[in-house]
Amino acid sequence: MELRKDPITRSWVITGDDVIEPAPRSQACRFCGPAAEPAQVIANLPGVDGSAWSARSVVHPNALYHIEGETTRRGDGLYDRMRSIGAHEVLLENPRHDGHLWNASAIEVSQFLRLAALRIQDLKRDSRLKYISLFKDHGAGAGQEFEHPTSQLTATTFVPRRVLYELRAGRDYFETKERCVFCDILAQEERQNLRILEIRGDYLAFCPYAPRVPYETWIMPRSHESSFERTGSSRVGNVADLATLLRFTLQRIRTVTEVFHLVLHTSPNSQHPSKTLGYWKTLDDDYHWHIEILPVLAAKARSYTFKEIYYSPVTSETAVKRLREAKI
C-alpha cells in the first residue's frame, strides 16, 4: 500500500495492488464467542459491572496503515507519493455482541468515548502523525466490516481533505471576524431553534443548514473546544451527557434508516506544525470538534452518486421535525 497525492485537489489517496479483500461477512464474530480470533490488544478500559473490560482497542486485522518506518515522501515527476505509515485500530465499543451505541447504557457509551479520547491522545504523541480519524460505518450499504459493535481509528501522516477544508474555512473566518465559525453557527441555531434536535448539558445535536444527505446530523459541544480528546479526559462529568445525546440521536436516526456513517472531526496534531499552512497559530481558537452522522437512505441513493454537488430531497427543517417527533 502507498499514499499518492492528487495534484489537483491536493488530497492524499491510499492505493495498492496488495489489498486484502474483506472476507464476506458471516454470522460468526471474530471478536467474541466461539469463533473469536486472537487480537493484538492495544488498550482496555475497565469493565463497569465486573466484566473484564468495557471498551477495547485492537490492531486492525488487515491494517491499511502501519506504525513502523519512515514516510519517505518522494516525488514522481509532478506527483507526490509516500509510504502508508500510520496506525489502524478497531475500537470494540462493547464486550457484548449486541451492545450498540444506541442500546447500550450511557455508562457503557461513556467508556467507549473515553477510550476513543485516550487513543487519540496517545497517537498524537507521535509527531509523524498529523491526523487521527475516528469513524463508524454501520450497515452493509455503508461498508460495515465487522459484525461486532465497532468503530475504527486511523492515524495518518496527512490531514484528510474534508478536515482540511474545515480547518482552512475556520482559519479564514477567524482572520476576518476573530470568532470561531462553529461557535457562531451554534449561536444562530440556538437563537433560531429551527434545526436543533436536542440539547444535553453542554452538547447539542442539530441538522446542519446545508445538508449533504437527508437527516445529516451533527453533535457539538456548546462551549468552544477544538479537541475532542481534551473534552473526553478533562471534563469527565460531561461525557455522560455526550454519551446520552449520542445514544438518543442514533435512536432517532434509526427510525429513518439503520445504515449510517459516523465520523469525528477533531483538531489535527499540533505537534506537527506546518510551515505551508498558517492555521496552526489560531487553531485552538478557530476549530471546534464535532461528530457528523451521515445516514444512508437506500431509496435516495441518487444523492450519493453526485458527490460534487450534494443533493438532499429533505430539508434540515423537515428532517429535524421528523427526528424530534420520532418515537424512541
Residue of 289, 320, 303, 217 whose CA lies nearest to 260: 217
For the chain, what is the radius of gyration of the CA atoms?
Answer: 20
Among the listed residues 12, 65, 174, 182, the single contact to Zn ion using CB under 5 A: 182
Query: What is the C-alpha to C-alpha distance for residues 100 and 62, in angstroms, rounded to an integer?
Result: 23
Instruction: Supply the minimum distance, in Å, between the C-beta of residue 91 and Zn ion.
Output: 13
Find cell 473469536 and name the residue.
36
Scan residues 208-267 and list those touching Zn ion (CB under 5 A): 224, 265
Query: What is the C-alpha to C-alpha distance for residues 186 and 325, in angstroms, rounded to an integer?
Result: 22
Helical H runs in 201-235?
A: 228-234
Residue span binding Zn ion (CB under 5 A) among the ranges 45-53, 123-131, 177-185, 197-205: 177-185
Query: What is the C-alpha to C-alpha distance for residues 325 and 328, in angstroms, rounded to an integer?
Result: 9
Scan residues 140-159 and list those touching Zn ion (CB under 5 A): 148
Residue span binding Zn ion (CB under 5 A) among the ranges 151-159, 174-182, 200-208, 301-309: 174-182
Instruction: Supply the minimum distance, in Å, between the C-beta of residue 98 and Zn ion.
Output: 8
Residue span binding Zn ion (CB under 5 A) among the ranges 20-28, 49-57, 90-98, 244-252: 90-98
Query: What is the C-alpha to C-alpha distance for residues 267 and 230, in angstroms, rounded to an integer?
Result: 10
Residue 130 binds Zn ion (CB under 5 A): no
Scan residues 93-122 and list those touching Zn ion (CB under 5 A): 97
Residue 138 binds Zn ion (CB under 5 A): no
Contact 88, 65 (CB under 8 A): yes
Residue (31 or 228) nearer to Zn ion, CB: 31
Q: By CB under 5 A, name the binding residues for Zn ion.
A: 29, 31-32, 97, 148, 180, 182-183, 224, 265, 288
